[in-house]
A and B are shown apart, each in its own frame.
Chain A
Amino acid sequence: MSLAHYACGSREHGLNRRRFLQRSGSTAVAGSAIAGGLGSLTTGLAAEQLKAQDMRIVVFNMHGGLSQLESWDPKPGTKTGGPCRSIPTSVPGTHVSDLLPYTAKQMHHLCVLRGVNTSEDDHGKGAYMMLTGRRQTAAADYPQIGAVAARMLNDESRGLPGHIVVTPGGGGGKGNEAAYLGPKYSSISLGGSKPPPNTTKPDGINDEAELRRHDFRRRLNEEFLTRRRTAITDAYTHSYEQALRLMERRDVFDVSKEPQADQDRYGKHDLGRQCLMARRLLENGVSFVQVTHSNYDTHNENFNFHIEQLGEFDRAFATFVSDLFDRGMLEKTLVVVLSEFGRTPNINLYYGRDHWSKAWSIVMAGGKVARGAVFGKTNDEGTEVVDGQVDHGALFHTYLQAVGVDSTQSIAVDGRELPIADPAAAPVWKVLT
């Protein structure tokens, strides 16, 4: 009988919840039904094979709610279209907003999903759904895609964290984004082009003293962990060891090491530096990077703000996708552009658009995603999905399938097998090759 990972050794912990369910009378049927259809991907050979594929994910989180009408699903000349027009792309017959001229030239790498319906117009809840694939409930918390990627894809021997969020100022992240996977898979937050803070050795400490300090800490930890090991203490230990590895590989986070020409190509603004940082991290083997671009919550003067924001995004994103392709990385990297929701087709009094989750768009590229494709369709004024409707649950499955993770399988957590993605949803197979 195996013990739960954090068991104190008492007899009570010799029987975990799932084992109890599987052994007890009528509930054994239910228990095995839950676990029966799921194989674990996080142990043994399957896990090693998955990591050997060396797949990565990068998410562009368009914070606040990117307008689909000013980006991926323009409706020029209609009541809801606004002043922006559509332009042809590198894929004949596919048009995007004229605010994305550089991205339009990379459309042959992209797959636009225009039928997203998440039915949730609240910022926090919408973001939760798009990043976890589940609706938030009081009863359970679920890990974000970044934490799942860190757990499933990251090769820890590289000495780099598997889940990194890049924001302009370095804030955000944390919270309970890893949920039951444990804080080890929560994000490290980076500010633009800077290495993580406090990753240099204090001036007054030489190498020998540094070694002694850490040896001493490790001895105390080991002694303590033999008696009182918990997820929290493991997280503390992991944080120290991760920090040491980060100090050794600090240069990975220094965008100034990139050629000046590349820094110019990406743009001399926060997002340009964030995108270049993302490329650098992915090249060095980080399994998941989230680039956050703020702010698209444009209830007021939607068009002015989208011109400003997408003016930054367009060139930086197009350069990023083009670079991944040129460097042979796109096959191994899933790129996702998402928001918590889209924006209303209706234009309000203040030239604004409000929250709209019933018919909006996301974009995927790379990995096993079909290239140069459009999936799903909205009606003429963009008020509802008329074909290819997908939701957050289906998208979460699809992200994982696109990097070779069988999202219908389970993940082993402290002796329990938990579905990786919502068992009630399924991948959007039509956008995968």
Chain B
Amino acid sequence: MNLPIDITKTHVVHQWKHDRPLIACRISPDGQQAVSTSEDSSLQLWRIPGGEKTVLKGHESWVHALCYSPDSQQLVSGGCEGSLMWWAVRADAPSLLRKSDAHSGWIRGVAISPDGSTLASVGNDMLVKLWSMASGEKIAEWGGHERHIYSVEFHPSGNQLITGDLLGKVHVWNVADRKLERTIEATPLYTENKGQQAEYGGVRSLAYHAERKELIAGGTHKATNPFGAVHEPLILRFGWDDGVLRKSHACEGIPGGLVWRVQWLKDGTAVGVSGGSTGGLLLFFNDSQEKEIHRFKLPSLARDMDIHLESNMVATAHFDSHLRISVMNV
């Protein structure tokens, strides 16, 4: 029986080192495995809690996009070379099931439908694509974003797909007919810095809370010097039904930070992982106030996060080549 969550007691319980800086990470739905990706273009499977590592090679470039199937048997990875790879990750010798040349340019995000039947992928080619998890066949593809698509999530019903782009546009698509249902404006996450002639930010991550009917979008704002990593973390909390912005969760004292990923705790606490010149931080927000209710300083700059709600575990991928597992209780 797990102890209840106490975010103020969050602490690191494991740290496992790879050879190169890490980029992304996920925990399998059954909580028995974690995966990370690194700047050597490989994937690393880590057994929880022992930390035994298996390295998977196949991508020709870095991997930012990861998703486990609901039964934890398969893992899908999307690389900057544009390939999707399906991996069988529970065999004694994990192996590549199939590979698809899916996108032109970077794949930025993948998501698997709640019933496990469909994979969605998005990327720099500004296309949304659907794939059969069973066969790997492409089911559909469509455009509609004007700039690179950074994030994708399924609605828990499986009927809608939510995608976010550089400009801060969050599109809600009907999965059945691929029609755009509406757009939620997360434009505070986008900065056009005319002095530096730079466009920066974007919807780096999305997460939906079914019971609260709220959507959160993570990224950055106040990008006064995007080339110099001077920008602050920001999470926007929207009502799902009306698309209205309910809270802008910003932080004080983090001049260099960006929320790489957002997720929910069951009680409606929004969690973001921030990495930047201020370091690596887990930031916790509830709906009572805009600023954070708690922050946990990680030992090194973090680039991604995944929360396993059943075990209160948080995995974080770090620049110092470590995958860290923290727990949110004593």
Contacts and interface: CB of A to CB of B under 8 A. Distances in A.
Contacts of A298: 227
Interface residues of A, number: 23
Contacts of A299: 227-229
A308 B229 CA distance: 17
A308 B319 CA distance: 24
Contacts of A216: none
B31 to A, nearest CB: 29
B229 A352 contact: yes
A347 B198 CA distance: 20
B80 A300 contact: no
A241 B60 CA distance: 60
Interface in B305-327: 319
B225 to A, nearest CB: 8
In this complex, the interface size class of chain B, counting residues with CB under 8 Å from chain A, is 20 to 34
Given A79-B20, A307-B124, A350-B277, A295 B227 contact: yes
Contacts of A183: none
B80 A305 contact: no
Given A83-B80, A300-B228, A349-B319, A307 B106 contact: yes
Contact of B229 (A85, A294, A350): A350
Given A84-B61, A85-B81, A349-B319, A294 B196 contact: yes
A211 B48 CA distance: 87
Interface in A100-127: none
Contact of A168 (B41, B62, B197, B277): B197
Contacts of A82: 39, 62
A349 B319 CA distance: 6
Contacts of A349: 275, 277, 301, 319
Main SS at interface, chain A: loop
A297 interface: yes
B226 to A, nearest CB: 6
Contacts of A84: 61, 80
12 contacts: A82-B62, A83-B80, A168-B197, A294-B196, A295-B227, A298-B227, A307-B105, A347-B21, A349-B275, A349-B277, A350-B229, A350-B277
Interface of B: 20-21, 39-41, 60-62, 80-81, 105-106, 124, 148, 196-200, 226-229, 275-277, 301, 319
Given A77-B41, A79-B39, 14 more contacts: A76-B60, A82-B62, A83-B80, A84-B80, A294-B197, A300-B226, A300-B227, A300-B229, A305-B198, A307-B105, A307-B106, A347-B39, A349-B275, A349-B277
